[in-house]
Amino acid sequence: MNETSGQGQNQPPASPVKAKVAQRGPYEVAVKAGDRLLWCACGLSRTQPFCDASHKGTGLKPVRWVAEKDETVWFCGCKATGGQPFCDGTHNSLPAA
Ligand code: FES
């Protein structure tokens, strides 16, 4: 086996589609049990933090979430969270705009 065998097997995926930062912090939303929501993952929606179908053609898709109880939740606005659809603090380490 030489260094070129297996070439291409460990290559990173071809430039993944990057979401746009809609807001550099979370959106606080009061939800009711049973609310069925589509969180915008692309950052292009004009109805943040929810989907308005602006993702079409981007290769990104919204994340469906159903509220189990009445509560206040914080949806990610930077679209870089590791815990979609919620803020996990990643926005605090985003590079300066
Ligand atoms: S707003 Fe995206 S991680 Fe907080």
What is the pLDDT, as a whole number, of residue 2?
39
Q: What is the pTM of this model?
A: 0.83
**Rounded distance from Cα 95 to ligand 1 centre (Å):** 13
Helices (H) and strands (E) in the chain, counts: 0, 4
- Mean pLDDT of successive 10-residue stretches along the chain, which has 97 residues: 44 71 98 98 98 96 98 98 98 91
Opening angle at CA 21, ends 36 and 52, nearest 5: 35
CA distance 29 to 2: 56
Q: Are strands 63-66 and 36-39 parallel, antiparallel or unpaired?
A: antiparallel
State the closest ligand 1 atom to the C-alpha of 27, by its place in the atom list counted from 1: 1
CA distance 36 to 22: 21
Which of 73, 81, 84, 94 has most ligand 1 atoms within 8 Å of its beta carbon, as the pocket-test mutant?
A: 81
**DSSP result, 30-50:** EE-TT-EEEE-SSS--SBTTB
State the closest ligand 1 atom to the C-alpha of 24, by its place in the atom list counted from 1: 1
Domain boundaries, the chain: 18-91
